[in-house]
Structure 1
């Protein structure tokens, strides 16, 4: 007895399944064929996909290609089930017609061949109309769907998914609103990232604090399909999720839809969002395993292109000892701004802090807010330390289990030695990280205990002169950013913006650095300190807008040599004595290369 086939299809976006289609086809078949004579081909896929991309249709057509008599008829509920694209559907029907295989459409109760097995001319006209209608209907539905989704976004609706962006919920009217508890987590994520923590480090902090993820809150212990199946309660924070959060404009009140932005409730400021994304765009390598401490790491900005500066230091003769613009990391992307000697820039800022008196006044005015900021920093570092210590403990347990397996002859010596070496390397890296974190916590706590008045703060700077870790902590407390601009062949402007009480003062310290002094003999570490200017530097998005020649002209017309004990500190040339330098070479002495010695240096961050 011959067989018949049923082909059923639903789109991937359809909410219904194909059981109704199968049931309608079985009703049309009735008792003409037994159950064993009916083969069903059903799938969930778009009707605009090519035949080869639709597994069940391909299987059906493969059978008819090999044996055109295998099926006496093919059933489907609507012509659109075979396909949405008119030309492809017409070719499919023509091919089946040439093979004398009729297609029965249950919705109109007609088939493509007449009683003599020939093409039904009336049906041919009907099918052409139906194909064009199916295509038009689908396109219209898509337009309506897109229009409806857009209107939903414009109206501030949340959408129907459980996977709302973290920090948001929907109210009784299905509007997108801020979820206060989650919003605090979002604020913490951005704050941690701005402080220099990487995506993975932030994820580890949230997991350590057992902050629930969106998946955990939405799906409980439901089985989820990832690369490996796991229940929703086991889905933790990871670096990819943090990355998406940092880059999502929704959090500063701009909801993205089809490439455009629409207003939405904001959790953070636009300024914080842009600062964090600027770090993402210009950062180089970030971790704790750095051999060198740079006082201005993550604080320097190029006044030509707006990118971050990064440090490049090699403690060998002729090695780099500069802060340079990260545009140089991009092939053909060098913006043209100059690199600045590390010791010159750090020493000039340190001298300005200790000698001018302006910084001390700002601290005295806002010491309470600085205390709160420092306390938050210490708590974050202590959280990182606990995570690192926990990870080290796990490695110790892993080493013990490996030894037990080796002693029980369950692993051979080669595998044992390889695994043991990997664990030892991990423990070494964790030990370095733990030591560095412990030192940074110690220095921050020391500052926290001493920071009680302006004289104590200046004394801390003086006491920390030869302690780069403590000095870096102090710099980070008071400096929000430093913008670097080359003005001419011998002068670089460093505008030092001071942060106090969580706010940035409007007028920066302006240091005009003499870079030519470094090539003179003896070397000169020299700068002109300027507070007020008639033609003051103006920045837009960290880009200097002024004419450099006019800035230099005002400095040249007003500068004079500073004499100790003078009652003013503006427009004076400051010569930094060798004993007063903050010299990176003193902390990391220059090593002489010899034929009989090899020095290994870690890449500086």
Structure 2
């Protein structure tokens, strides 16, 4: 049945202490409801000032949210007089905008509100120029609803923490089977087991994860490599991160976190057990709540990727620092890649990049790139066509707004989506245009690359400078450009690598006992492929079959191995 919202408020201002009582306001409202043949719906706000903003008047906000709802049955609003509803211009304008937009009639004891009044129309039109308030109104309602559910102990649609489920009334309750797993995780952690050991036990015993049960897909974005992957949740496995999240989540000791607040929740482990586990975690990580800290800086993360698809991360043991596949922590990944010492791979990549980048880019400026230029020009034309289509779509959206197919919320949402898509296309277009500019012979990038190694000169004392200025400097720069770059500070090399390199793929080939290293650039040049033996002694350019790096000092320790032997083996593989 259609309803009349009756708003009653007892003012807290001194001059209103003797004003009309709540009972009198309600009585007048019910008379109006009977007169209009509408069902009365009461909204009573005790002792509140009409000068307050809307967000400080919860009952008035609740009434407006109910009016603004899609399935609202409220057809009219009654208040004893205007002072009951508002006493500041901002509240008045917002209130009138809502009721006007929803075609809700407004009544006072003195009579029906006159929408033809120029002042009222102006207020309404000013606010109607933007949908910001309507979005805020919905947002406040949703946040308030979710918080109320959390306070009452109900679930709110999010993925439930492992160990919990819900009853038929949506109240959070303990999952008997999963809670036993949670208790074991806490007990094992307190007993000294690592998160990896606990994780492996869960996998060995086929304990399903939360995602195994709910299914669906999950998208992971790797910003360092500009890569997005889609995973099937049904195939997800336990991770050490999940174990630590369980350990650190206070819900298991009965404190459900909601923003900055905590609400009571069913207890899975007693608070003492929870504190013991978390103290153990902090002690293991030297007081850090973010995990184990590392003293070594790893130059190539996050550029490195293993052939199995996982990242190659920096690690350390008592003997050395090395790069290892993240998947090796998880036995079900079955990654058979070998570790590579950090100093070896850092040196190799530094030598290859600084030693070859200038000549490689210069070669790309030659006239042999007509096909590449044509391809880039075709892509630019395609992106320009996409931009034109977006502009046409924006015109259509404006027409939808004009003929009221879209309301303003829908209009702004569509415009925002189209603008975001257009921005992505413009960025792609700018990147391709930069690549095309390089291929046409812009020497700025060449000059920049050439100057990279010159920075190292400030860190080296060259002999004969008094008698032969710059002689040794130029000789070193020309002959040992890659080795010279090893003298560069860590941050200088890291900045260069992240500016020019998109990805470094390292594949271990067990059948041949060698590594394949593929370097992909952010520049319009082809990927480079290098081969390295299993002992990390020698590197060959697979395309040119030329030696690029050799560890002669390490080879001296292997009497049966010579540079020629390793070089021939790698070159033969390249053939």
What TM-score does the superposition give when structure 1 sets the normalisation length?
A: 0.29
Q: Which one has the bigger helix percentage?
A: 2
